[in-house]
Amino acid sequence: MDTALDHAVSTRPRSLRRTVAAYVALTKPRVIELLLVTTAPVMILAADGLPSIALVLATLIGGALSAGSAGAFNMYIDRDIDRVMNRTQNRPLVTGEISDRAALIFAYAIGVISIVWLALTTNWLAAALSLAAIVFYVVIYTLVLKRRTEQNIIWGGIAGCFPVLIGWSAVTGSLDWPPFILFLVVFLWTPPHYWPLSMKYRDDYAAADVPMLAVIRDRATVGVQVVLYAWATVAASLLLIPIAPMGALYTAVAVLAGGWFIVESHRLYGRAVRGQEAAPMRVFHASISYLTLLFVAVGIDPLLPF
């Protein structure tokens, strides 16, 4: 009897941990991390120094809830294709850790909380932009574009650009050219970030009948597009220098990290043209490092005396 009781006590916390972990997975935490990396530095740029820590934390919490809501809606809508794709077969709606109904309620709940939270702790403009980001990702990308066109990730990626606008507006209560330049950077960065991933998992997307560019075009064509968008991303990042204006640190990072990103993109194209193993994940990981370095520089540069 003691053994049975001990077993019940020991499995209860484990079940709770598994449930919590499943709900966290439902929010796509890796995507949230990347979005938050673009939010906090923009707030420093908007304040031309360090903004209130309370304001930064409030904005990051609201942004995380907003992005988590969009991710949860996405997993609910895409649960049918997630069951087909190997890389998504461990998602909580596929494994049954969370029911479809519970996932939908959770998505709505944290979405509403995010908007109310931002309205109360920042301002209504930031809250409205948060709502727009959720609607764009769920409706425009997930429901309209993803399964219909190879342009899905280009225009659907706009949803991931909203955090820079949210961060700026949370500080200033308005919008200006610098956040729109950074919006453009993230917009142009998204395709060369995501297309290499779709090359890696081409068979998965093909099996799920999702028309990613890598599914309906050959590797060389995808490589060309990655190169073109990488160049465009770096060019857009340089526009911030005279507009913000930015100093020596940001300029150096934009040029050097941008050059590295472009070189990796050209290597991907070169391997694809020669019929070699494309190694697309090198560009995928390089793109993440590039964007992280760029936005860290956005946040540090205003704090420097030069």
Mean per-residue pLDDT, 223-241: 97
Q: State the sign of the Cα–Cα–Cα–Cα dihedral 243, 248, 249, 251.
A: positive
Above 50 in pLDDT, residue 11?
no
Above 50 in pLDDT, residue 136?
yes
In a domain, 205, yes or no: yes
Same domain, 38 and 112: yes
How does residue 6 score in pLDDT terms, banded at 50, 70 and 90?
very low
Burial 194-227 (b: 16+ CB within 10 A, else e): bbbbbbbbbebbeebebbbbbbebebbebbbbbb
In a domain, 10, yes or no: no
pLDDT tens string 27-39: 999 888 888 899 9
In the prediction, which pLDDT does 8 show? Answer: 41
How does residue 23 score in pLDDT terms, banded at 50, 70 and 90?
very high
In a domain, 225, yes or no: yes
Same domain, 84 and 223: no
State how far the Cα of 35 lies from the Cα of 133, in Å rounded to an integer: 12
Same domain, 77 and 200: no
Mean per-residue pLDDT, 211-240: 95
Same domain, 32 and 149: yes
In a domain, 12, yes or no: no
In a domain, 188, yes or no: yes
Mean per-residue pLDDT, 164-182: 97
Domain that holds residue 215: 176-306
Least-confidence region, from 8-12, 155-159, 177-181, 208-212: 8-12
Q: Please give the structure tokens belonging to residue 129.
A: 């932009």
Q: Please give the structure tokens belonging to residue 174.
A: 């308005």
CATH number for position 135 = 1.10.357.140
Looking at residue 143, the DSSP 8-state letter turns out to be I
State how far the Cα of 99 lies from the Cα of 85, in Å rounded to an integer: 19
Same domain, 229 and 244: yes
Same domain, 199 and 57: no
State how far the Cα of 47 lies from the Cα of 16, in Å rounded to an integer: 41
Q: Please give the structure tokens belonging to residue 285.
A: 């990981």
pLDDT tens string 258-270: 999 999 999 999 9
Burial class (CB in 10 A: 0-12, 13-18, 19+), 81: middle
State how far the Cα of 39 lies from the Cα of 168, in Å rounded to an integer: 8
Is-contact 214 198, C-beta < 8 A?
yes
DSSP H helical segments within 50-151, as ranges?
53-77, 79-82, 92-95, 100-121, 124-135
Is-contact 275 269, C-beta < 8 A?
no
Same domain, 188 and 290: yes
pLDDT tens string 85-101: 988 888 999 999 999 99
In the prediction, which pLDDT does 282 show? Answer: 93
Which of the listed residues 171, 206, 222 is the one where a domain comes to its end? 171
In a domain, 148, yes or no: yes
State how far the Cα of 246 lies from the Cα of 9, in Å rounded to an integer: 57
In a domain, 7, yes or no: no
Same domain, 85 and 115: yes
- The phi, psi pair for 50, rounded to 5°, reads -85, 120
Same domain, 65 and 189: no
In the prediction, which pLDDT does 14 show? Answer: 55
Nearest to 202 by CA among 294, 74, 86, 293: 86
Nearest to 219 by CA among 155, 162, 267: 267
Q: Give how many domains the chain has, as a whole number.
A: 2
Nearest to 26 by CA among 84, 85, 110, 140: 110
In a domain, 8, yes or no: no
How does residue 52 score in pLDDT terms, banded at 50, 70 and 90?
very high
